[in-house]
Amino acid sequence: MEIHQTKLEGVYLLEPNVYADDRGYFVETYNENVFKKAGIKEAFLQDNQSLSKQAGTLRGLHYQLNPNSQQKVVRCVTGAIFDVAVDIRQESPTYKQWVGVVLSEHNQRQLLVPKGFAHGFCTLVDDTIVAYKVDQLYSPQNDRGIRWNDPELAIEWPCSQPILSKKDRAHPLLHKAENNF
C-alpha cells in the first residue's frame, strides 16, 4: 500500500496493492503495520458500511464533536464516489480548504480523513457501497453537519441537485457550526 499526502496536511490518499488474477482480485484493505509506519497510530474502533441506491446521492458533510471526534478511512466497495474532506479547524492555515478524490471499486483507493475535518461524498453510479473505519464510536449527541453546498466552501460536487437525507438538508453553514474537536 502506498500512502500519499494530499494538498491538505493530514489528509492521505491510500493506494493498496491489488492482486488481480483469473478469479478476480485480492486486496489488503487495512494493515496495522503499514498504517503505523505512515504515522497513523490510532486504533480503529468501528467499521461502517452504507449502500446508496441512486447515483447522485450525497451524504455529508459530517463530523463528530469531542470527545467523539473521529478519524475515518473511507473506501468504495462497489460503484464509485466523489469523496470530500474539508478542513473546519478555525486555527488551521488550510481552514475551509477541501480535497476531493474519486474512490471506486476499480481504483480501490482510500481517503484518510483526520479529526477536525468534515466528510462527505456523492455517489457517481447506482448501487454504490461505501465502507469506512473510524477511531471513535458513533455518538448521536455529538454528531454534527455542515451544509453540503455552503458557498464559503465552494465544493465542486459532480452533482448539482443531489439526493439528500432530511438531516443533511438542514445542516447549518460553516460559520454557524460548532467546532469543538
Ligand X SMILES: Cc1cn([C@H]2C[C@H](O)[C@@H](COP(=O)(O)OP(=O)(O)O[C@H]3O[C@@H](C)C(=O)[C@@H](O)[C@H]3O)O2)c(=O)[nH]c1=O
List 60, 79, 114, 162, residue binding ligand X (CB under 6 A): 60
Q: Which residues are catalytic?
A: 62, 132
- Judge whether 87 and 95 are in contact, CB under 8 Å: yes
Concatenated DSSP letters for 57-116?
A: BEEEEEEE-TTS---EEEEEEESEEEEEEEE--TTSTTTT-EEEEEEETTT--EEEE-TT
Q: 5 vs 165, which CB is nearer to ligand X?
A: 165
Instruction: Tell me the residue type at 61.
Output: L
Q: 62 vs 109, which CB is nearer to ligand X?
A: 62
The answer to the question of residue 51 lying near ligand X (CB under 6 A) is: no
The answer to the question of residue 59 lying near ligand X (CB under 6 A) is: yes
Binding residues among 102-141 for ligand X as defined by CB under 6 A: 119-121, 138
CB of 76 to ligand X, least distance (A): 12
14: three-class secondary structure by DSSP: strand
- Judge whether 74 and 110 are in contact, CB under 8 Å: yes
Site residues (vs ligand X, CB under 6 A)? 48, 50, 59-60, 62, 72, 119-121, 138, 165, 167
